[in-house]
Amino acid sequence: MTGHVATSSTRRLTALAAVVLAVLFGAVAALVAARYPPLMSLDRDVVATWSGAVEGTPWHRFFVVVATVTQPWVVRALLVAVAAVLVLRKATLTAAWIITVVVVNGTAGEVLKLVVRRPRPDALDQVVGWSFPSGHASEIAAGMGVLVVLTMSRVARAPLRRALVGLEIAVAVLVGCDRVLVGAHYPSDVVGGWLLGSAVVLAAYAAYGVPTATRAIASHRPVSAPPERHRTLGVVLNPIKVPDADAFKARVANAARAAGWDEPLWFETTVDDAGSSMARAAVAAGADVVVVAGGDGTVRVVCGEMAGSGVPVGVIPSGTGNLLARNLGIPLVPELAVETVLRGQDRAVDVVRLEGDGLATTRFVVMAGLGLDAAIMDGAPDALKARFGWPAYLFAGAKQLRYPAVRVDISVDGAEPVRRRARTVVIGNVGSLQAGIPLLPDAQIDDGVLDVVVIAPRRLFGWIGLAWRVLTKHPRVDERLDRYTGRSVVVRAAHATPRQLDGDTVGAGTELRAVVEPGVLLVRVPR
């Protein structure tokens, strides 16, 4: 599956597609440069037939207008405007990808024209400049290619997504054919332009590993789920966290049928797989909504897998913390959560890509931490959590109040690291803990930035003052409670320290490297 930053497999496939298009372009360019007789004859015949068929008809004026409003500089201006919006929304990586497409495609087209030096068709010999490749065709292929990528990754409704992609492809085809119909280019010029523009889009995409979903084209406000055909739930179920799984399945199936949905598809997690392959299987089976029923760990794995897929995730919270559900207002009562899945609306939220020493690249949706918070998670017995729920963490925390501080270096957005002695460092995608405790009061799950808090009370009684500052959302920061925000964060500890992701301990280590992936995950929330 893809996430905000394209996964290595996605980038490899995209790079392969770019290479294929580049090879095809090279073949066409070689034939044109060699003035291959069969191709030259075909080109001349098509231009004469097509341009002659519309000359003197009302259609000719229409095609002249199309040629005028889709000039290369117009398409470039459109892409630059999209990039500017992305910069304002802090999706700078996507903006850089688009600007790279504009610069590389425009430059490559002009250079190739000078290399091949193919004259314009006789039908329109008053047009200046060389003919191969068509600038109109390459620019519209690049422009519509960018919009197709953004549409595929950002538009949640499948019918609308298909309609927009179809329209964008149709525009590219129309502009290319228009060049032949007005006699400005040969068919091979247009084909070469399409191949060049598409190859540049994919090559830049692969090089940058750009976000597969952005907030530039559509607002991150909730998108209502459409009343469409019979729909299917793919439910990823953690049988350890869901009591009486058979009864749960029956309740969900009954609710789905009552709402006009098809029979749910079921995928149970295992000890060796917390939900990754199950989420992929649900998508492959055609699920319109992938539902995760389990604790924060299962939710994290499934959401990380679904990021960038365009398929919404429904959450039926069944764990101890349920922090994603709490921060999104998803009901904690299973029956009400099922109603949200079936009748709610989709909201685009951020996820966070995380790396670290000894960790495979992964994602989280709530919080990652290094230090005391991870020790608390590790120290809360499963039996206690099963009996008391999230208050079990309070018991574990009380035993860890003397947890030693560790020296950490914190770098935000590549800036010079700041050194602190901390009991705990938390990187947050949301703001609130259990019981509504506002640990990161300014954090929003769809703001495109990470929030970091460093907690370092000097003495045991220092926790009382820190607790008051957290609960009252006091803005003051100092060496005992400090905050940072940015799109990327690197935390390095002086020695191996416990770490956690969304409440799951992931082993001690010295480093966490986090990058936000804005708006790549759709989550079904209440209306």
CATH number of the CATH domain containing 513: 2.60.200.40
Q: What is the pLDDT of residues 488-503, one digit of tens each?
A: 999 999 999 988 888 7
Digit-coded pLDDT (tens) for 438-472: 778 888 898 899 999 998 877 666 667 777 777 77
Answer yes or no: do 342 and 452 share one domain: no
Q: Which residue type, as a one-letter code, is found at position 497?
A: T
**Can you list the alpha helix ranges (DSSP code H) found in 367-419?**
372-379, 382-388, 392-398
CA-based nearest residue to 518, from 147, 95, 79: 95
Cβ-proximal residues to 342 (8 Å cutoff; 6+ apart), any chain: 233, 255, 256, 259, 261
Q: Are residues 30 and 152 both part of a single domain?
A: yes
Between residues 76 and 11, the one the model is more confident about: 76
- Domain that includes residue 460, residue range: 356-517
122 DSSP 8-state letter = G
Residues facing residue 486 across a β-bridge: 450
Q: Can you give the pLDDT at residue 234?
A: 93
Assign 437 a pLDDT band (cuts: 50, 70, 90): confident
Res. 194: pLDDT tops 60: yes
How many domains, in total, are found in the chain? 3
Here the tokens at position 165 are 């992609």
Neighbours of 13 (CB within 10 A): 14
Cα–Cα nearest to 179, from 61, 75, 51: 51
Q: Please identify which residue in the block is written with the tokens 């480093």.
A: 511
Predicted pLDDT of residue 124:
47
Residues 199 and 286 grouped into a single domain: no
Which whole-number Å values give the CA distances from 427 to 92, 395, 479, in the listed order?
Answer: 21, 23, 17
Rounded mean pLDDT of the chain?
82
| Percent of all residues in the chain with a pLDDT value above 90, rounded to a whole number | 38
pLDDT class for 405, splitting at 50, 70, 90? Answer: confident
Looking at the fold, whether 265 and 333 belong to one and the same domain comes out as yes
Work out the number of other CB atoms within 10 angstroms of the CB of residue 399.
12
The structure tokens listed for 192 are: 């070469």
**What does the alpha-carbon distance between residue 336 and residue 77 come to, in Å, rounded to a whole number?**
48
* Residues 328, 367 within the same domain: no
Asked if 511 and 375 sit in the same domain, the reply is yes
The β-bridge relationship of strands 418-422 and 504-505 is unpaired
